[in-house]
A and B are shown apart, each in its own frame.
Chain A
């Protein structure tokens, strides 16, 4: 992506933060570029909201620096920062009408009355709520309140908009609508969005860059496609979408032994006879006639999911999760094929600690 060539707008250097005895973020580095939609994604308690609050100025890191546009803002209070936040529970001022809510920041900056009026109605137009100036926050639906919260933030023309799980309280349909709305807004405004969520689908839909976090560490940074197709470790593979994660042995370049059977793959450079983890997405497992498959087994579970069937196939002592548009009744003997391109090889976690961490997180999420 072209962001990586431009200079970073926000630079987090070696950030650590603990609350009491609990280490939330450990020596984290992150660069955020101008005009980027970056999503911090991870399970609850992974430190993603804390990072957002450190950027917003609501928390001070114990260690490390926050650089914004070449200036150190680590100790600058939130009201002096050129960024605005959309809070999880909207945080609208309930005793003020919508117009006054949106005008709050502009009034503090002593803008003229006409300027404020124009800006407020422009911001309301941007979020598709024309003419709502005189309404009270209580009289609006959740989705409308969230749009107002966004309007209140962007009316100040921040360089960066911070969004803390802004769609968390909305129902599914509204959430999907708002996702498109946010992408449109970001393109209209041309500013940087830093988005925090635990919803992987939301992250994949909207982001230019996804930062996957767990237990205060960054697990992987990449584009949605990159992270989905080439997860760097078992945690990422499991957190982004469903997957079959299997213990395997790299025999040599382009050849991996999975559950005692050799599969051709495309990965090289792991060395010979190296233990690895293999990720195969359920939609990449191809079911066929037992004679044609690389391995064979029998269907043990079948659920209709609308777009596809979800099946579990027991083969070589492993329950393979399979998504397919073709239906195979329970008990059918089937063969399993996998395209070499769809076998993703990952290094095993280096230390036991790391393994324990990712296993714990997997359990939390399952």
Chain B
């Protein structure tokens, strides 16, 4: 009797818990699910379901302006993530060689842009470009993206750097390798998971960004996010649902990749042991 009571209580608890988790997911993802469903809706109005269609996707890919924006977004994400990864890695090497006090200060300074409101970063970059007399366009967006990406790269690599056993570097020197060869052969492989994670995170951040891009882009050029924004002002076309769906899915995949790297590494280590 007591046992069944206990079992009922457990079941009751479990149901409540699952219901609560479900509720949270509904709040978080209902808007996005709505968007994804609407992107396949044959009817132009949002109010009624007109049947399943891919036509918004196909008209999206035929829209040259959107395709240009897509190209800008991807190329800016790729270049800015690469450059930021390079600069960030070198910065990490330098940070680790600093004395403790200056290291703390520099790490603090590199963390601030991440916590700073994006609109502040955007406006200040805009003002900087104006005062330097740089023409707004692709170049300014790229510079802005590299700038805000560097802290994320450092954030990913620095912990790996801390775990690093520097005596392996000295061991490589000891065995006759030059300093650069030693770094490349011995230090870099240990840093690689951090570097890849930093690159992917930077790529995602750049892909995602609207506010900073909005303030640094100038007229005549758009990335996907600014393009969607200006389209929406004119009235929402269903193509935009399709576009947003694509962006959401890509970011989801990227984030999944970023999170998968440490897990994969652990699995690899385990399998080596056996």
Contacts and interface: CB of A to CB of B under 8 A. Distances in A.
Contact of A91 (B170, B272, B273): B170
Given A139-B272, A139-B273, A91 B175 contact: no
B190 to A, nearest CB: 7
Interface string A64-90: 000000000000011110001101110
A156 interface: yes
A74 B165 CA distance: 26
B171 interface: yes
B177 interface: yes
B168 A79 contact: no
A20 B171 CA distance: 25
Contacts of B32: none
Nearest to B169: A91
Interface stretch (A5-13, A92-100, A315-323): A92-100
A109 B176 contact: yes
A186 B261 CA distance: 44
Interface in B160-174: 165, 167-168, 170-174
Given A93-B186, A138-B272, A139-B272, A79 B176 contact: yes
Nearest to A80: B176
B196 to A, nearest CB: 14
A87 to B, nearest CB: 5
Contacts of A87: 167, 170-171
B167 A56 contact: no
Nearest to A58: B170
Does more than half of chain B's interface fall in helix, strand or loop, or is it mixed? helix
- The winner among B168, B182, B273 for most chain A CB atoms within 10 A is B168
B177 A85 contact: no
A77 B176 CA distance: 9
Contacts of B174: 56, 78-79, 84-85, 153
B50 interface: no
Nearest to B178: A79
A94 B172 CA distance: 12
B85 to A, nearest CB: 20
- The winner among B179, B182, B272 for most chain A CB atoms within 10 A is B272
B22 interface: no
Contact of B175 (A77, A95, A108, A139): A108
B177 A108 contact: yes
A93 B181 CA distance: 14
B234 interface: no
Contact of B173 (A77, A88, A152): A77
Nearest to A94: B190
Interface residues of B, number: 22
Nearest to B272: A136
A94 B185 CA distance: 11
A104 interface: yes
A143 interface: no
Contacts of A105: 175-176
Contacts of B172: 93, 104
A78 B186 contact: no
A156 B175 contact: yes
B189 interface: yes
A88 B181 CA distance: 23
Given A91-B165, A91-B168, A92-B168, A84 B190 contact: no
A108 B177 CA distance: 7
Contacts of B269: 138
Nearest to B186: A93
Contacts of A153: 174-175
A104 B170 contact: no
B177 to A, nearest CB: 5
A138 B176 contact: no
Nearest to A20: B99
Nearest to A84: B174
Nearest to B172: A104
Contacts of B171: 85, 87, 91-93, 152
A85 B171 CA distance: 7
Interface string A137-170: 0110000000000001100100000000000000
Contact of A95 (B165, B173, B190): B190
B178 to A, nearest CB: 6
9 contacts: A79-B176, A84-B175, A85-B171, A87-B171, A89-B167, A91-B167, A91-B171, A139-B272, A156-B175
The 8 closest A-B CB pairs, nearest first, are A105-B175, A91-B167, A91-B171, A95-B189, A78-B173, A108-B176, A136-B272, A87-B167
Interface of A: 56-58, 77-80, 84-85, 87-89, 91-95, 104-105, 108-109, 136, 138-139, 152-153, 156
Given A91-B167, A95-B189, A138-B269, 6 more contacts: A56-B174, A79-B177, A89-B165, A93-B168, A93-B186, A105-B175
